Structure 1
Amino acid sequence: MSESIRDFAHWIKSQGLEHTLPRELSKLESLTTLDLSRKKLKSLPESINALQNLSILKISGNRLTELPQSICTLKNLRNLQCENNLLQSLPENFGELSSLVILNLNGNQLTTLPQSFYALSKLTRLTLAVNRLSHLDAAFRNLKKLLHVSLDTNYFESLPEVFGSMQSLYYLDLSFNKLTTLPKSLGEIKELETLILEGNLLQNLPSLEAHDMLVKLNLASNHLTSIDFDISKLEDLKILSLENNLLESVPNTLCKLSKLTSLDLSANRLKSLPECIGNLLHLYELDVEENLLESLPESIQKLTNLKNLFIANNHNLQKPDLPTLEYCDIE
């Protein structure tokens, strides 16, 4: 029995956690899952390296300002949940956690990532939202197996050309940063299904036409004045959010998105909608409130699946006579 496991057992007792973990040292040493979430912990002991069989470690919702260096020796660790702590940095050798597949560091105070971080080549799910990050190294392209990435609510003004290698990435959230442009390599991700870009400073877009598997696209709260790519190429798109931009018109090609179920064009400068909008036969929800519309296209009568319609704060728009409509914000 190692001295480290005795030290860890002593630490457990000192934190009043002995009722939640095995008392027998042999069972403690063979633990594969450890949940220390929401235990008001301010630190973890270096003796955590005694738990060499750990596969899942949950330490979210504590008051941790750092992680012990020894945590990086847990070679079997596949899932690390460390959300909502006070981490300001990660150990320099963090990349030695070579088995990590899932990493959640949401809601910390990270300003940088150690260079070794980019060696975590087995990662498939990475969430770094709500931190203070402003820089990603070009070595981020090494994380080729990523499927799900959340970098929202940080301070990124730009991102390096790293996405071309991530051919299986299906979910990418870059919302609420300070992005004025997007990397061209974004257009090289073949499998992307969800792209969230809300709350940035984007004035124009790279061609997103390659994303023909995209199901959800959120471009809300940017500085877009036009849609300058052929949006009809996004043939699987179901949810499109363009609210709170500077759009004065939307292209007729929008009407070719035959699978669209939700369309939000609110809080723009639209004076009209495409007459062909009636072609969106699967549309379930349409939001065009807070624009400059004086009328709705006659073809709106064709939207026989429309349930929710938001048209308030335009120029005296009248509620259309649609039998299927369940809610309209104007009576």
Structure 2
Amino acid sequence: MREGIREFAQWIKSIGLEHTLPRNLTQLEAITTLDLSRKKLTFLPESIGALQNLSVLKITGNRLKVLPKSISLLTNLRNFQCENNLLEHLPEDFGNLHSLVILNLNGNQLTALPSSFYDLTNLTRLTLAVNRLSHLDIAFKNLKKLLHVSLDTNYFETLPDSFGSMKSLYFLDLSFNKLTTLPSSLSEIKELETLILEGNALQNLPSLESHDMLIKLNLASNQLHSIDCNLSKLEDLHILCLENNLLQTLPQSLCTLKKLTSLNLSANHLTHLPECIGQLTQLYELDVEDNALTSLPNSLENLPLLKNLYIANNHDLKRPNIPSLEYCDVE
């Protein structure tokens, strides 16, 4: 092990970073945090595996195409930041990093995950956005401690029915994939607060009624013709985005969302808004641009907190008389 530490120290010196780390080998062996972010690195040496006490490793913003196999020896690693590199795959034994709690692999070129990946059962935060992934194994259900998951901007057409085991998941971003349907197990996530589904090809929604703790729901840029779930169950919802869909009408249940502060309905095919929209008394921002509206409900004047209103690109709508209004994009 000491030989490995010596080799790592020599490598650090060779790239001109010796001033950033202890020169004493005993002290170097004991370090718990290593930050090599944005150092223009094209590789890491196998000797990094000798740093057995590492708890935090940050190698974000380099030019790494591969990770050394010895990375899997860092069994005390809890936080691994490897964002914005050029990784095409992970070492087969990557799952040996059993202590990992936080893993950030955003912005790489991963096309698949090794089978051992699903052994990372202590993960609470996983970000795999902006890669080239198209498949997750059913073993994804093993990651039961996940609280925050970002899988956006990949190539997923389907996802495994693996979310039922993630009882404490509160943030899930599946945006900008190729999803046409969602796994039914999504309805079993009781603690979910943020669900981002923007930029897929969804035509129907799974049952959302069970997500009664949702605060933010983003369904923008899908292919929704209607909202076929009971929105009234989403009693804690603050932000609802339905922009750029194919909606022609809105359900009356929309008006029961008493905590809603932001509602985006722009770029749909709406010909009218429900008169009951005036019941959304916490609404701060309303966007209905780019629809086919010929008039606005009189009840809009009942919204005491409405500050921002976007109504351009409809049929000659005029700015309504709302005392609280600070901005409207038409006069």
Amino acid across the alignment from 1:14: S
What aligned pairs does 1:228-247 form with structure 2 within 5 A after superposition? Answer: 228-247=228-247
Give the Cα separation in 2 of the matches to 1:45 and 1:252: 61
Deviations 1:240-287 (A, max 9, x none): 000000000110110000000000000000000010000000000000
Q: TM-score, normalised by structure 2?
A: 0.99
Amino acid across the alignment from 1:263: L
- Give 1:323 shift: 1.2
Tell me the equivalent position of 2:185: 185
What aligned pairs does 1:52-91 form with structure 2 within 5 A after superposition? Answer: 52-91=52-91
Give the Cα separation in 1 of the matches to 2:266 and 2:222: 13
Deviations 1:88-143 (A, max 9, x none): 00000000000000000000000000000000000000000000000000000000
- Give 1:73 shift: 0.6
Give the Cα separation in 1 of the matches to 2:208 and 2:66: 39
Tell me the equivalent position of 1:259: 259
- Give 1:160 shift: 0.7
Tell me the equivalent position of 1:303: 303
- Give 1:22 shift: 1.2
- Give 1:27 shift: 1.1
What aligned pairs does 1:124-273 form with structure 2 within 5 A after superposition? Answer: 124-273=124-273
Tell me the equivalent position of 1:22: 22
Give the Cα separation in 2 of the matches to 1:145 and 1:178: 26
Q: TM-score, normalised by structure 1?
A: 0.99
- 1:217 alignment partner, SS class: strand
Give the Cα separation in 1 of the matches to 2:268 and 2:86: 38
Q: How many residues align?
A: 331
Give the Cα separation in 2 of the matches to 1:241 and 1:87: 33
Of the structure 1 ranges 290-299 and 13-22, higher mean CA displacement relative to structure 2 is found in: 13-22
Tell me the equivalent position of 2:41: 41
- Give 1:197 shift: 0.1
Mind listing any 5+ residue stretches in structure 2 that lack a counterpart?
A: none
Give the Cα separation in 1 of the matches to 2:216 and 2:291: 23
- 1:28 alignment partner, SS class: helix
- Give 1:21 shift: 1.2
Identity in percent: 75
Tell me the equivalent position of 1:93: 93
Mind listing any 5+ residue stretches in structure 1 that lack a counterpart?
A: none
Deviations 1:55-80 (A, max 9, x none): 00000000000100001011110000
**Greater than 2 Å deviation, 4+ residue runs:** none
Give the Cα separation in 2 of the matches to 1:28 and 1:250: 62
